[in-house]
């Protein structure tokens, strides 16, 4: 376990937070709190989030996550001064919610924390050893061991069995191993007899035959015995290289409803995850971004981004200064932004966020959308029935979009919308200027480099289903090329003389459209398809200005 410092991103009671496989450990001045989730429920969420256990055509069922909080308080102790130890070279950044006072950058991570003089002459040190959380009481010469009293709150049962301390909760048992106590005598470690004493939910220690003129160490280990197995806490969506050869990886991390709020009250609670992974109004996942060194050996930082509901990253790109741009979607009404939301919003909205090179500050962040789902291809991952649906044919298709930069570091996004009132700006790529029809259109957006200016934005689509998946800039002309998939037979754009001017039939064709560099209109559009199902997933130019496309076909 590692301990992350609190710089305002969590409740003020918390000094440091550590995570174990199925929960979290919160260090305070006068004890600690433990948040645990039932391992079976986490396993079920993990299975569903990976598409296991539900067949095509079936509706994903809800899952109830059972959670529990207990706390330990030192009785009649004085607030100890926290001294973190063994810092790691990496750090975490937190941008959770739209209150900048709660954002925290470059939060240091430590391998141990000591609280000095919680009782006169007695320190406590928390650390991890062999995958187990441990704490040592360090008793200085002359200090009174009888002062140490640890009161546990919220547990369903406490008992001493085989010299070990059993802490029972509704979601599993926690074992504190028999305390190993020792002193150094003539330079050699000498074990001292020590055992737990339990009375009124309070633990103290009985120590025999020790030298009170020497330092005494009491050393239990905490084993979260029942908390093993799969957890749905990491899920990769996108990656991009940095200018120095570093790697940026973006995905989602499990963020149960406690989220950034410290569980100040012990006891049990439940959360119903609608459709397995809490789409829409049920909170469950935040965006996580990890930066690794060029050889992959070192994690340089981790940044957590989100609000009170769900978000996903779809695409990332890094400029030559190392500033990272992340595009995706969010259902959170309090997603962290630096400018007012563009459009009426509602349901999922498109989000674009730019970080500084350290990942520790927002250089810009925007949320844009209409009243329908924006940034969602057909339907969210965990909604409705499992299986193909319209342009959502393959794994991850619900989250396809691409963010790129032009030569001036302006930010361009190719995505999709189901909003007939999506906020457009500038020239329209669709005849008539509005939504093309059907359930969904593609959208193409351009912002300045810090997302403070919405330069242009337009629908792209016909009367069927349309989605813009990828984008690339012609290095010769500066024109923007956008590719994706469609079921529309009447896509906008001149198709005279193109490779495939007409829809080829089947469920979907791929397409590529050329947009003038200034966004003033379309140059031409071409279908790419067969009578089967065809989708374009990649579009890049080589150094000679030739475009290449990549996709799938049946």
Cβ-based neighbours of 461, under 8 Å, separated by 6 or more: 430, 435, 436, 437, 438, 440, 441, 442, 486, 488, 491, 492
The pLDDT of residue 462 is above 70: yes
Report the distance separating Cα 317 and Cα 321, nearest Å: 12
* pTM of the model as a whole: 0.89
- Mean predicted confidence (pLDDT) in 409-433: 96
b/e burial code for range 268-300 (CB count within 10 A of at least 16 → b): beebebbbbbbbbebbbbbbbbbbbeeeeeebb
Q: Which residues pair with 441 in a beta bridge?
A: 417
On whether residue 289 sits in a domain, the answer given is no
What does the pLDDT look like over 214-261, one tens digit per residue?
999 999 887 764 443 334 456 788 999 999 999 999 998 876 654 445
Cβ-based neighbours of 432, under 8 Å, separated by 6 or more: none
DSSP string, 62-100: PEEEEEEEEEEEETT--PPEEEEEEEEEEEEEEEESS-G
On whether residue 63 sits in a domain, the answer given is no
On whether residue 490 sits in a domain, the answer given is yes
E-only strand ranges, 29-161: 31-37, 63-74, 81-96, 104-119, 122-129, 132-139, 150-153, 157-161
On whether residue 164 sits in a domain, the answer given is no
On whether residue 355 sits in a domain, the answer given is yes
pLDDT recorded at residue 227:
40
**Nearest C-alpha neighbor of 484 from the set 441, 424, 435:** 441
E-only strand ranges, 372-453: 402-405, 411-417, 441-447
pLDDT recorded at residue 275:
39
User: Band of the pLDDT at 40, cuts 50, 70, 90?
Assistant: confident
Q: Which two tokens stand for residue 212?
A: 């009170």
> What's the chain's average pLDDT?
89
| Contact of 218 with 205, CB cutoff 8 Å | yes
On whether residue 259 sits in a domain, the answer given is no
pLDDT recorded at residue 330:
94
On whether residue 133 sits in a domain, the answer given is no
Report the distance separating Cα 233 and Cα 463, nearest Å: 39
Domain that holds residue 463: 337-553
On whether residue 385 sits in a domain, the answer given is yes
Q: Determine which helix (DSSP H) or strand (DSSP E) holds 166, and give its type and residue range.
A: strand 164-169
Domain tally for the chain? 1
What does the pLDDT look like over 259-277, one tens digit per residue?
445 555 677 766 666 433 3
């Amino acid at each position: 376990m590692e301990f992350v410092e609190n710089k305002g991103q969590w409740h003020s009671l918390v000094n440091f937070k550590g995570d174990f496989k199925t929960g979290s450990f919160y260090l305070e001045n006068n004890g600690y709190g433990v948040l645990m989730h039932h391992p079976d429920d986490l396993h079920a969420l993990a299975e569903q989030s990976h598409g296991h256990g539900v067949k095509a055509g079936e509706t994903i069922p809800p899952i109830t996550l059972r959670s529990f909080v207990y706390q330990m308080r030192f009785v009649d102790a004085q607030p100890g001064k926290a001294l973190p130890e063994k810092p790691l070279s990496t750090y975490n950044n937190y941008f959770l919610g739209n209150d900048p006072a709660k954002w925290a950058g470059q939060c240091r991570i430590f391998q141990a924390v000591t609280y000095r003089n919680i009782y006169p002459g007695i320190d406590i040190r928390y650390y991890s050893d062999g995958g187990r959380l441990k704490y040592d009481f360090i008793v200085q010469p002359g200090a009174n061991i009888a002062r140490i009293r640890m009161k546990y709150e919220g547990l369903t049962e406490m008992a001493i069995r085989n010299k070990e301390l059993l802490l029972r909760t509704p979601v599993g048992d926690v074992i504190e191993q028999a305390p190993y106590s020792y002193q150094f005598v003539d330079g050699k470690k000498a074990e001292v007899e020590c055992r737990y004493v339990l009375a009124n939910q309070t633990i103290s220690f009985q120590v025999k035959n020790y030298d009170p003129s020497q330092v005494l160490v009491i050393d239990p280990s905490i084993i979260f015995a029942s908390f093993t197995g799969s957890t749905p806490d990491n899920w990769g969506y996108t990656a991009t290289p940095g200018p120095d050869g570093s790697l940026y990886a973006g995905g989602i991390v499990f963020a149960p409803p406690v989220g950034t709020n410290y569980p100040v009250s012990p006891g049990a609670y439940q959360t119903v995850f609608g459709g397995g992974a809490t789409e829409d109004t049920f909170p469950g996942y935040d965006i996580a971004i990890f930066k690794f060194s060029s050889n992959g050996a070192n994690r340089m930082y981790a940044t957590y981004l989100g609000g009170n509901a769900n978000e996903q990253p779809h695409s990332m790109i890094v400029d030559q200064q190392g500033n990272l741009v992340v595009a995706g979607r969010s259902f959170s009404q309090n997603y962290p932004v630096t400018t007012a939301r563009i459009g009426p919003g509602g349901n999922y909205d498109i989000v674009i966020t730019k970080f500084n090179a350290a990942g520790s500050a927002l250089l810009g962040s925007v949320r844009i959308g209409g009243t329908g789902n924006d940034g969602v291809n057909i339907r969210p991952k965990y909604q409705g029935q499992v299986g193909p649906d319209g342009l959502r044919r393959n794994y991850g298709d619900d989250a396809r979009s691409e963010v790129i930069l032009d030569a001036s570091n302006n930010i361009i996004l190719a995505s999709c919308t189901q909003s007939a009132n999506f906020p457009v700006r500038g020239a329209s790529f669709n005849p008539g200027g509005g939504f093309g029809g059907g359930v969904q259109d593609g959208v193409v957006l351009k912002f300045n480099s810090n997302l403070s200016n919405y330069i242009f934005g337009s629908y792209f689509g016909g009367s069927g289903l349309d989605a813009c998946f990828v984008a690339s800039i012609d290095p010769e002309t500066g024109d923007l090329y956008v590719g994706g998939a469609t079921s529309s037979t009447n896509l906008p754009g001149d198709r005279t003389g193109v490779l495939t001017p007409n829809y080829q039939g089947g469920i979907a064709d791929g397409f590529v459209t050329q947009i003038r560099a200034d966004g003033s209109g379309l140059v031409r559009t071409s279908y790419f398809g067969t009578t089967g199902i065809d989708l374009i997933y990649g579009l890049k130019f080589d150094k000679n200005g030739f475009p290449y496309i990549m996709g799938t076909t049946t």
